[in-house]
Structure 1
């Protein structure tokens, strides 16, 4: 089985959308992952603010990466987000996902999206944990 710290790196290498977002992995440990990205012009909506899907996607990626650090393929079954602050071009965001509760088949995560120390979005997610292990050769 692949070790926890290597799983998000492997996942990112196979994730064209997260690469397009410019996501970078900052920290990883079992049950926790912290990512970062910068808002670009092509990510803005008609109000010249970051489209809500951008912070959602960053949080969702952090959620997925953290959920998989337990070594089993984990897939999202329910997510939600609260957008707290508007985001602008050039904003540098971090998203930290922490697994709040894990049992045999389900994992419950909270993701905080921040601009510096300011909380800008709060994401909640539930994953289904499969029996398939992450392997080096996957």
Structure 2
């Protein structure tokens, strides 16, 4: 079985979306992976704020990396997001993830996204399903 770092590195290498977003990994531990992202002009919508899909995608990647760090292939089966504050160009976003519940087949996560001022800008909750396939 691979270590959590090896799993996340392997996932990121094949994850074109996270690469396109410019996601950087701040922390990798079994059951906790935290990310960072710098908001660019190409991520803005018609109101000159970040498109909601940016924070959603960041949180989804955070949850996927975290769940998979346990060693089995894991996929998302449900998720939702609440946006609390506008995200602007040049904002530096970071995630904090909490594993609310985990069994052998399912886990529920809460991902909080903060800006560079430590202001909560989004909260994401999701459920992951663990397959029998082990990372190797």
* TM-score computed with the length of structure 1 as normaliser: 0.95
The reply to whether residue 134 of structure 1 matches residue 122 of structure 2 is: no
1:96 deviation in Å? 2.1
The 1-side partners of 2:70 and 2:98 are apart by: 12
1:52-131 superposed matches below 5 A = 52-116=52-116, 117-131=118-132
Provide structure 2 residue ranges, at least 5 long, that are not aligned to the other structure.
none
1:104 deviation in Å? 1.4
Q: Is the 8 A contact 1:8 1:25 kept in 2?
A: no
Provide structure 1 residue ranges, at least 5 long, that are not aligned to the other structure.
none
The 2-side partners of 1:22 and 1:5 are apart by: 18
Residues 20-45 of structure 1: CA distance to partner in whole angstroms, max 9, x if unpaired? 10001110111111000100001000
1:97 deviation in Å? 2.0
- The runs of at least 4 consecutive aligned structure 1 residues that moved more than 4 Å come to none
Tell me what 2:48 maps to.
Answer: 48
Residues 71-100 of structure 1: CA distance to partner in whole angstroms, max 9, x if unpaired? 000000000000000000000000122222
The 2-side partners of 1:104 and 1:122 are apart by: 25
The 2-side partners of 1:82 and 1:126 are apart by: 16
Tell me what 2:38 maps to.
Answer: 38
1:7 deviation in Å? 1.4
Tell me what 1:23 maps to.
Answer: 23
* Greater displacement, 99-108 / 48-57: 99-108
Q: Give the secondary-structure state (helix, strand or coil) at the position aligned to 1:99.
A: strand
